[in-house]
């Protein structure tokens, strides 16, 4: 699994001109899934996300986690995170998991992060054409791949 985390002062997701998710102060998490991903990847990433110290403490230093900052999360599935651009100019998405594998993992990811955070998590819709808006706070953007833990 590969994720892109963006610290936001606000973010939203619109599908078919209808807003389906909206937060202030928190994290927008873009999630890419491959066939080899497992619950172990989910558990490791969810723990990393909620405990990652990317919010300012009382001295303005990034030293506070999402849990301690009382932030919120939007999770958006994004198969294009696994694009290969090695050959030609058209990205290949062959590494991205097909829906029959990706949807259960996506749903488990959402459930696991909700349990880790202790409150509901907002989401986009798997496979939908989404308009994602955000104000990146900082800017802070972090990329994490669960296959590169060491």
In this structure, is residue 42 part of a structural domain?
yes
Residue 80 among the catalytic residues: yes
In this structure, is residue 140 part of a structural domain?
yes
Distance separating the N- and C-terminal Cα atoms of the chain:
15
Catalytic residue among 79, 109, 112, 123: 79
In this structure, is residue 122 part of a structural domain?
yes
In this structure, is residue 128 part of a structural domain?
yes
Predicted local confidence at residue 24, as pLDDT: 95
In this structure, is residue 150 part of a structural domain?
no
Catalytic residue among 19, 80, 133, 141: 80
Q: What's 112's domain CATH number?
A: 3.50.80.10
Instruction: List the domain range (segments joined by +) for residue 38.
Output: 2-145
In this structure, is residue 54 part of a structural domain?
yes
Q: Structurally, how many domains does the chain consist of?
A: 1
Residue 64 among the catalytic residues: no
In this structure, is residue 134 part of a structural domain?
yes
Predicted local confidence at residue 149, as pLDDT: 82
Catalytic residue among 78, 112, 122, 123: 78
* pLDDT tens for each residue of the chain, 150 residues long: 999 999 999 999 999 999 999 999 999 999 999 999 999 999 999 999 999 999 999 999 999 999 999 999 999 999 989 888 998 899 999 899 999 999 999 999 999 999 999 999 999 999 999 999 999 999 999 999 999 987
Residue 79 among the catalytic residues: yes
Q: Could you tell me the pTM of the whole model? A: 0.94
């Amino acid at each position: 699994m590969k994720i892109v985390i963006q610290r936001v002062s606000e973010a939203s997701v619109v599908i078919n001109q209808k807003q389906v998710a909206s937060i202030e102060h928190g994290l927008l998490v873009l999630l890419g899934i491959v066939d080899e991903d497992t619950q172990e990847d989910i558990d490791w990433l969810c723990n990393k996300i909620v405990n990652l110290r990317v919010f300012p403490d009382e001295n303005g230093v990034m030293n506070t986690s999402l849990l301690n900052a009382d932030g919120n999360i939007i999770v958006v599935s994004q198969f294009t995170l696994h694009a290969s651009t090695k050959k030609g100019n058209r990205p290949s998405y062959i590494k991205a998991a097909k829906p029959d594998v990706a949807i259960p993992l996506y749903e488990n990811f959402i459930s696991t992060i909700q349990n880790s955070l202790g409150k509901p998590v907002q989401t986009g819709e798997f496979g939908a054409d989404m308009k994602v808006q955000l104000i990146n706070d900082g800017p802070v953007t972090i990329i994490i791949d669960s296959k590169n833990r060491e």
